[in-house]
């Protein structure tokens, strides 16, 4: 299945945080590299029902894919409020017809030994769409 491209999706943390996730991934010889960005979503609090999108994190991501099982492992070193840490994501890639080429779904967690962060771990679902607004993929 295709890995290369711009992936878009959502993250739901056990702490209650919801975020939009965008990742640009490339695969070569089962090694995955790329970058990602996370935008936390929060109600505006003005009673108008709007949602505020706040950039929370950007940075490089690396990992690998097992083509026999379609399992993906990704890792990201990050800093939140000056505190270093690392997130690990384990998921599966599957076909996502008709609206997308592929989907990655799985869970993430703060890697053991990292300083506790404001996130606790949770689930993430990403789609590789056939076409993006800019005509990519």
pLDDT in tens, the chain (137 residues): 889 999 999 999 888 888 899 999 999 999 999 999 988 887 655 556 677 788 878 889 999 999 999 999 999 887 766 777 788 999 999 998 888 999 999 998 887 655 555 677 889 999 998 765 555 55
**pLDDT score for 115:** 57
Domain around 65: 5-129
**pLDDT score for 72:** 96
Peptide linkage before 56 cis (omega within 30 of 0): no
**pLDDT score for 38:** 86
**pLDDT score for 86:** 84
- Give a yes or no: residue 114 inside a domain: yes
Q: Tell me how far apart the alpha carbons of residues 71 and 53 are, in angstroms, rounded to a whole number.
A: 30
Residue pair 126/9 in contact (Cβ under 8 Å)? The answer is yes
- Give a yes or no: residue 135 inside a domain: no
- Give a yes or no: residue 123 inside a domain: yes
- Give a yes or no: residue 121 inside a domain: yes
Number of domains in the chain: 1
**pLDDT score for 136:** 55
Q: pTM for this structure?
A: 0.81
CATH of the domain at 108: 2.40.128
- Give a yes or no: residue 134 inside a domain: no
């Amino acid at each position: 299945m295709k890995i290369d491209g711009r992936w878009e999706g959502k993250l739901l943390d056990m702490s209650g945080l919801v975020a939009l996730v965008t990742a640009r991934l490339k695969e070569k010889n089962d090694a995955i590299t790329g970058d990602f960005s996370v935008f936390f979503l929060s109600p505006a609090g003005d009673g108008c029902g709007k949602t505020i999108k706040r950039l929370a994190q950007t940075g490089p991501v690396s990992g690998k894919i097992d083509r026999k099982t379609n399992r993906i492992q990704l890792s990201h070193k990050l800093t939140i409020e000056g505190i270093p840490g690392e997130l690990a994501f384990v998921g599966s890639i599957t076909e996502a017809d008709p609206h997308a080429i592929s989907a990655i779904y799985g869970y993430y967690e703060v890697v053991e030994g990292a300083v506790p962060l404001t996130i606790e771990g949770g689930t993430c679902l990403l789609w590789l769409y056939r076409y993006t607004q800019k005509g990519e993929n």
